[in-house]
Every structure is written in structure tokens, then in C-alpha cells.
Structure 1
Amino acid sequence: MNGIWIFVSSLLAGIAASMGVGGGAILLLYLTAFAGMNQLTAQGINLIFFLPIAIIAVCIHAKNKLINYKSAVICIAFGFVGVWCGLWLTKIISEELLRKLFAILLIYMGLRELFAKNKKKEKDR
């Protein structure tokens, strides 16, 4: 039964990640809440999971001319800085605090999306 849930959560995470809408969040939720992994291990698995999916998605988006390379280079540069800051922070903060911060981020993103879509629909009327 556990294998089915791994398959389903990975499939959903892959689909969401290829569209750029947070597949990692789906996988992290499964790994921490249902598979019982600690937060740092789940994040490591999520990063490894993301690499091949990101490569495929970039190839498809590049083929369809959907990538602004100038913006991508800027994002990558600051992303590297963010990685080093994140690695440094994981050595300072506890896993419990990391889990809480991740939960707050997910709630914030969900509420923001919920209300942003409603505002967009109201503007279209």
C-alpha cells in the first residue's frame, strides 16, 4: 500500500513541478506527514527528485520559447546565494522550527493564491 502512495505523490509532484507550481511542496508534505521522514531528509530527497524533472521541464519550455534567459540568469545567480544562506541556516535553526516555518510558508502561499485568483476573477467581471 505504501508503494501506491509513493507513486501517486511522486506523480502529482512531478506534474505540478513541470508546470512550475510547487511540486516540491506536495512531495515534502507526503514525505514528512505520511511517510514519517524528518524535514531535512525529506528536503534532500525533494532536491534529488527535482533535478531530472527540472531538466525535462526546461527542455520543453525552451523548445516552446517560454524562457526569458536574462531573467533566468539573474534568478540563478541569486538562487545560488539563497542556497548557501539556506545551508547556513539549517545548521543554526532546529528541525522543529524549520517544519513550522515551512508550514507557515505553505499556508501563506495557499491563502495568497486563493485571494489573488478571486481578485483576478473580480477584475475580469
Structure 2
Amino acid sequence: VRGAFDGTEKLAKLGIHAELINLRTLRPLDSECIKKSVKKTHRLITVEVGWPFCNIGAEISAQMAESDVFDSLDAPIQRVTGVDIPMPYSEAVEVYSMPKGDHVVKAAKKILNIS
């Protein structure tokens, strides 16, 4: 969650308004809230600390791709995740493996076609 907050703050400094949805529960998943945001912003980035394989971001992406908001998207959905490595015991490596605000900024610039 911290990486997502940091990312939106960094984007704001660049003049980019990012709408942040902090999902409190995954089941039930508030798909309507996500759909409303996609219809408004025409873009979607998911951010989570889990691995990129079989994660909630993949499920959200699938649900949005299968819903009526898919045609609202102006760019491919981006997923920002933890690094695909076994969860480390070392605190330094654990910190390295988590998504950071800079990762969110990079994903946002990609879907906005900004260098």
C-alpha cells in the first residue's frame, strides 16, 4: 500500500492526478468501485506486494477485461507487483522486493505515453 501512496504523491508533483482505491477486502471485491474509476480515468494500474503470478491484480485485470468497461480503457492494464523471487528473510532484500512509488510512476508514464 505504501508504494501506491508514494506513487500517487510523486505523480501529483509531475502534474498527474492519479485516483487511488485502497481495497479493504478482496472478497467481496468492490468491482463496481474499480469500474467507476476506469470509466472516469480510462486507465488501470494495480499495485500489490505479492508476486506477479496468480495475484489479485491478475483477477482485477481479468474482471475488467471481461466487463463493460474494457472498451473504456485507453491503454493496456498495468500491474505493479513485488519481485518474482521467494520471500526473503533478509530485511534489506525484503525491502528491495516490494513495489515502490517509482515503479508506480513508471507504469503510469507507460500508459500515458510519457517518456
Q: Which structure ranks higher in relative contact order (CA pairs < 8 Å, sequence separation ≥ 6)?
A: 2
Based on CA coordinates, which of the two structures has the bigger radius of gyration?
A: 1
Greater helix percent: which structure? 1
TM beyond 0.5? no
